[in-house]
Structure 1
Amino acid sequence: MKLYPLFLLMAAATVFSPGPGVVMTLTNALRYGMRGTFGGILGIAFGALIVAAISATSVGVILAASATAFTALKLLGAAYLIFLGIKLWRAPAFRFTEGNTQEVSFKKRFLEGLSLQMTNPKAIFFFLSIFPQFIDPAMSYGLQFAVLVMTYSSLIVIIHSSYAIFANRAKSWLTSEKGGSYMNKIGAATFVFFGCALAGAKRAV
C-alpha cells in the first residue's frame, strides 16, 4: 500500500471534519460529560465497519474495472470532497448547546451512533469511491481492506474522543457562534485540500 500515508491523512481529515457524527459527539460531551460520549463514539466506529463490509464487493468490482472507469470514479470522489468543502464553508455556523443533562444509557447512545453512521453519506461515499485507489491489486485484497477499514474505525475512536475532551474544556467557545463558524471553516478547508490531493493521486500498481 504505497499510498497508505495519504490514506491516513485523508481518512483523518474526513473523520475530523464537522458532520453528523462530530455534532453528536460534541453534543453528548456537552450534555453528559466525557463518559457520556463512549456509547455514541463506539456506535459510529462499528457502523463504519458495517458500511465498509457492505461496500467490499463493490470495491472489488471497481478494482477489476478499466483504468478509465477507475480514474472517473477517483475524480468523482475528488469533486464530492470539494463540493462538501464549499457547502460547509457557506453553511451557517454550527450551534452546540448544553441542553438537558439527564443521563442516557450506553446502549441507546451506541444505537444512535450506529444508525447515524449507517445513513451517513460521507462514510458511504468514502468507502465506495475514495477507498479503492488505496488498494494495490498485486497484494492481498482482504488483508489490505482489513488494514484500511480498521485504520478508519480506529481514527473515529481517537478523533471523536479528542473532540469530547476538547468540548469539555471549551464549552463557552463551542456554544458561541464564533466557535461554530471556525469549525465550519476548518472542515471546509480540509475537504477542499484533500479533494485536490485525491484528484492528483496516482493509482497503486
Structure 2
Amino acid sequence: MGMGTLAAFLAVDLLLVFTPGADWAYAIAAGLRGRSVLPAVVGLVAGYAGYTVLAVAGLVVIVASSASVLTALTALGACHLIWLGWTALARPAAPHTSTNLIAASRRQVMLKGAGVSGLNPKALLLYFSLFPQFIHPGAGWPVAAQTAVFGTLHMALCAAVYLAVGVLARTLLKARPTAARAVTRASGVMMIAIGGFLLVQRLAG
C-alpha cells in the first residue's frame, strides 16, 4: 500500500466527512450544549470504530455481497436519518434550552453519538463501497491491515472535524439563538433529503 493510495483515500474520505449530515447535526447540537462536545465526538467515533472492527474481521465484505442485507441496513439507516431530521425540525436546538441532551450524562451522550454514526447511511457507503476500492490484496500488506489503516484514518478525520464543528457551533452560535435554530433546521432538512434519497434509491434498485 503506497502513499498514492493513502492520499487518494484521504481526499475522498475528507469529502465525505466534510459533507454535512447526521454526524454534523449531532456535533452542532452538542456544541450548543457547551460541555457535551467531547463525549459526543467520542461517541460518534466509537460508532465508526465498530464498523472498523467488523471490516477488519471481514464481515463487511460478507454483508456487502448480500444485496438483501445491504438493502435492509441502508433502509434502516435512511429511516433513522429521516427521523433525526424530523426531530431537528420539530425541536430545533438553541443555547440554554431544556432538552434531553442537556440532562443527559456523558455516557448517554456518547451512546447516542455511537448510535448516530452507527446507523448513518454514510458509514454504509464508506465501509461497503469506498473501502474495497482502495484495498489491494497483492499490495504487500494483509487485507486486514489495510482495512485497519483506512478505518483508523477515517476515525482520526472524524474526530478532528466533528470536534471543530462542535466547538465552532458553541463559539459562534451560543449567543445567537435565532441563528442556532436556523442552522439546526437546515441540518434537519438536509438529513431528511439525504435519507429520502438513499431510501428511494436503494428500494428502487
Tell me which interval the TM-score lies in, with the shorter structure as reference length.
0.5 to 0.7
Q: What's the secondary structure of 1:3's corresponding residue?
A: helix
Q: How does 1:116-135 map to 2 (within 5 A)?
A: 116-135=116-135
Let me know the Cα RMSD of the aligned residues: 3.3
- CA positional deviation for 1:53: 2.4
Counterpart of 2:171 in structure 1 is 169
Determine the structure 1 residue equivalent to 2:157: 155
Please name the residue that 1:12 is paired with. Answer: 14
TM-score normalised to structure 1 length: 0.64
1:97, distance to aligned residue in structure 2 (A): 2.6
Q: Give unpaired runs (5+ residues) of structure 2.
A: 66-84, 194-205
Superposition deviation, residue 183 in structure 1: 11
One-letter identity of the residue aligned with 2:162: H
The letter for the 2-side match of 1:4 is L
Partner SS for 1:175: helix
Report the equivalent of 1:108. Answer: 108
Alignment of 1:33-182 (within 5 A): 33=34, 35-56=35-56, 57-58=58-59, 96-98=93-95, 99-100=97-98, 102-139=102-139, 140=141, 141-171=143-173, 172=176, 174-175=179-180, 177=182
Aligned mate of 2:32, from 21, 24, 30: 30
CA distance in 2, matches of 1:6, 1:100: 44
Identity across aligned pairs (percent)? 23
SS, match of residue 36 in structure 2: helix
Aligned residues: 159
- The residue aligned with 1:200 is none
The answer to whether the 8 Å contact 2:44/2:113 transfers is: yes
| Cα shift at 1:24 | 0.8
